[in-house]
Amino acid sequence: MLMDDKTFGERLRALARNDDAEQIRLELVDVRAEDIAEEFQRMSVEEGLSILQAIDSEKAAYILVELPTEIARSYTTELSDEALAHYLDILPMDDALDFREEVGPERFDDLLELIPTEDAQEIRRLLDYPEDSVGRILTEDFFEVKPETTMAELLEMIRQAPEDEYETVNDIYVLDERKHLLGVFSLRKALRALPQVTAAEVMHEEPITAEAREPAEDAARRMARYGFYALPVLDGRGRMVGLFTGDDAQTIIREEDTEDVLKMAAVSGDSEAYLSLSVWQLVRRRVPWLLALFVAESLTGNVLRYYGQGTESVKLNPIAFFIPLLIGAGGNSGSQVTTTITRALALGEVRPSDWWRVMRREFAAAVVAGAILGLVGFLRVWLKVPIIGWAESPGLALVVGLTLPAIILWSTSIGSLLPIAAKRLGLDPAVMSAPFITTFVDATGLIIYFEIALHVLGKI
């Protein structure tokens, strides 16, 4: 694609407003589905539907597969069963299964009744495997030969096969009559061998394999370890049932790594693309962790409270008891946002030009999260219940209750803009964001706390 991202996005939206389907199809004929799907995340459903209905069905099907689940659902609800069934029939089986999450199990079963019986049976076979297993994403379209097949026969088989017959022919799999895997060899070796040489003579007899019911992440990391394009997948009796391909392995590793990174920053949930998440989804991913950390940081306040009120030699102003709680909440909230945005930038889900879109959703999420934590903080300070409350004055409780949402709003704003600014300046967001957000929020959070205390209490 010759246009940069901004220019392409503007052109795509202009085409969406154009009623000339032929022009849309011609302009996008050489554009990859992945690039179009990325821009769909920044377009309205109406604009996207205009594009989908104008381009060829195969590209439209792949665009839906490439879209994040939440966004894809908004499109599938607008499309007829006939259109979705057509897309389902076009796609490889492992990609077709993605439709099940996007349309729901019941509608997916109805779609299977509209496609050829053989394809529907293949999809149902994949559904029999456990979720997140290799079997769910394998492809049955692999190139197999018998041990006695010669290289000349093999190459002729490849020439005569339809273009979409096999997922890949980088490796050739040697199977016996019962579909047991005997060995594997590369197409390169087949091309270099003499025409009369048989598969049994050139095959490697101890291939690295995957088991159909094992976790897909384990198989993906095994493939990455050995640098393979694909892994043969065996059932419990050693029969080859399919192929686990490198593109699926990369997707799984990327998703699992993203989830691990987000968990380290106390963000739950799956690896859905950032721009596909609603404000409520952002809140659900973060607030439970913030509440858990809120409780943990209360222990520090208890220590200050114990020593600050328990002895005559050390006497602290009660306002100091809540400093760790407030600064910790701000730092945790900022780290959540910073890590989320940094990861989205690394994966290309967010670009520096998306800064206003990011700010709007983060501000809304911070308002909701801040209100929840502010209410909890107010009750925690004011309640006269052993262990649960600290029984402070209503004025001090109000200060804490107001400071929490203010600090969270501030730290979220800084945490969302800092990685984007670093990216814009050519710096690594991962290196810049984490240290700066903690230091900055600590200092500014104290200012916010003391200023609110002065205005509410009149003194500190």
Q: Which residues contact 406 (CB under 8 A, 6 or more apart)?
A: 370, 448, 452
Per-residue model confidence (pLDDT) at position 313 = 55
Distance, CA of 170 to CA of 172 (rounded, Å)? 7
Q: Is residue 301 a contact partner of residue 321, using CB atoms and an 8 Å limit?
A: yes
DSSP states along 190-223 = HHHS-TT-BHHHH-BSS---EETTSBHHHHHHHH
Q: Is the dihedral of CA 275, 280, 285, 291 positive or negative?
A: positive
Distance, CA of 444 to CA of 453 (rounded, Å)? 14
Per-residue model confidence (pLDDT) at position 386 = 57
Torsion of CA 362, 367, 369, 371, to 10 degrees: 170
In 3D, which of 121, 123, 164 has the Cα closest to residue 141? 164
The token duo for 435 is: 């240290």
pLDDT per residue rounded down to tens, the chain (460 residues)? 445 666 888 889 888 888 788 888 898 988 999 999 999 988 999 999 999 989 999 899 999 988 988 899 999 999 999 999 999 888 887 788 888 888 888 999 999 999 999 889 988 988 999 988 999 999 888 899 999 999 999 999 999 888 777 777 889 999 999 999 999 999 999 999 999 999 999 999 989 999 999 999 999 999 999 988 899 999 988 899 999 999 899 989 998 888 888 888 888 877 788 888 889 999 999 999 888 887 777 777 677 766 666 555 556 677 888 888 888 888 889 888 998 999 899 888 899 989 999 999 999 999 999 999 999 888 888 876 655 556 678 888 899 999 999 999 999 998 899 899 988 888 888 776 666 777 788 888 889 999 999 999 887 6
The token duo for 22 is: 């032929």
Topology of domain 5-129 in CATH is MgtE N-terminal fold (1.25.60)
**How many residues comprise the chain?**
460
Topology of domain 260-457 in CATH is Tetracycline Repressor; domain 2 (1.10.357)
Per-residue model confidence (pLDDT) at position 166 = 77
Tell me which residue has tokens 């240290």. Answer: 435
Which residues of the chain form CATH 1.10.357.20? 260-457
Q: Compute and round to an integer the Cα radius of gyration of the chain.
A: 29
Which residues of the chain form CATH 1.25.60.10? 5-129
176-194 exposure pattern, b = at least 16 Cβ within 10 A, e = fewer:
eeeeebbbbbebebbeebe
Instruction: Count CB neighbours of 239 within 10 A.
Output: 15
Per-residue model confidence (pLDDT) at position 93 = 79
Distance, CA of 206 to CA of 185 (rounded, Å)? 11
Q: Does residue 239 sit in helix, strand or coil?
A: strand
Distance, CA of 42 to CA of 350 (rounded, Å)? 10
Per-residue model confidence (pLDDT) at position 273 = 86
Instruction: Count CB neighbours of 315 within 10 A.
Output: 10
Q: How far is CA 62 from the centre of its chain?
A: 18
Per-residue model confidence (pLDDT) at position 215 = 95
Per-residue model confidence (pLDDT) at position 308 = 66
Q: Measuring CA to CA, how many Å separate 34 from each of 11, 38, 40? A: 16, 6, 10
The architecture CATH gives domain 142-245: Roll (3.10)
